Amino acid sequence: MLAALLLGTTVNTATGKPAGGTFANVPACQDAEQSGCVVSYGSYAGTPPANGIFGRSAPGRPALCVSPAALLGRGEELTSLLPTAALSDGEPLVEDAPDTGFVTLREAVQGRCRSTSEFGWLDVTIAEGLAQLPQLTGQRGDAWGLHRVDVNLALGDLVDLVDAQSQAWQARGGPSWDR
């Protein structure tokens, strides 16, 4: 296994350890060249409400949050790939939006892992104009957080992370798909 990307769900770990919760032997990814690990987060814009569904911790088993942007050394800036009007049947995200179906907006989405005794989550801040877009906000209620766009919020980072992990794995002698 190169890496498990379990986004928009809850993966628990043992307190103070990268593994030992949901997966006894699969640790949280701790750098961009590690393989055999898991990336997981549930995203909320701010602290999850008491009835939050995703990223819920259990006694002695905190919810895992691994930011792919942080693993890549990008800090809190997420490389989002957001659906354009061509996919969402809504208003364009930007003027003259490409007809590819997705757009990347630099410095528009920030995210960092946070935790309390009840939750571990990717705390996301979305630029003011984007925060009003239905595909980012209009869903089933606060308990769901930003679940609808968990993948899109960091999709560019996820693609880059898997590429870095794959290259490192191949450099260590793992098989190459293009050989």
pLDDT in tens, 146-155: 888 899 899 9
178 within a domain of the structure (yes/no):
no
pLDDT at 128: 77
User: What total number of domains does the chain contain?
Assistant: 1
Q: How many CB atoms lie within 10 A of CB 62?
A: 23
52 within a domain of the structure (yes/no):
yes
pLDDT at 19: 84
39 within a domain of the structure (yes/no):
yes
Domain that holds residue 7: 3-171
Rounded to whole angstroms, the Cα distance separating 36 from 130 reads: 35
The answer to whether the beta carbons of residues 169 and 37 sit under 8 Å apart is: no
| Continuous segment of H or E residues that includes residue 82 | strand 82-83
β pairing state of 120-126 and 43-44? parallel
91 within a domain of the structure (yes/no):
yes
Nearest in space to 149 (alpha carbons), one of 177, 122, 119, 179: 122
105 within a domain of the structure (yes/no):
yes
pLDDT digits (tens), the chain, 179 positions: 899 999 999 999 998 888 888 999 999 999 999 999 999 999 999 999 999 999 999 999 999 999 999 999 999 999 998 776 555 555 555 556 566 667 777 788 999 999 999 999 999 998 876 655 555 554 578 899 988 889 989 999 999 999 999 999 999 988 765 54
pTM: 0.86
177 within a domain of the structure (yes/no):
no
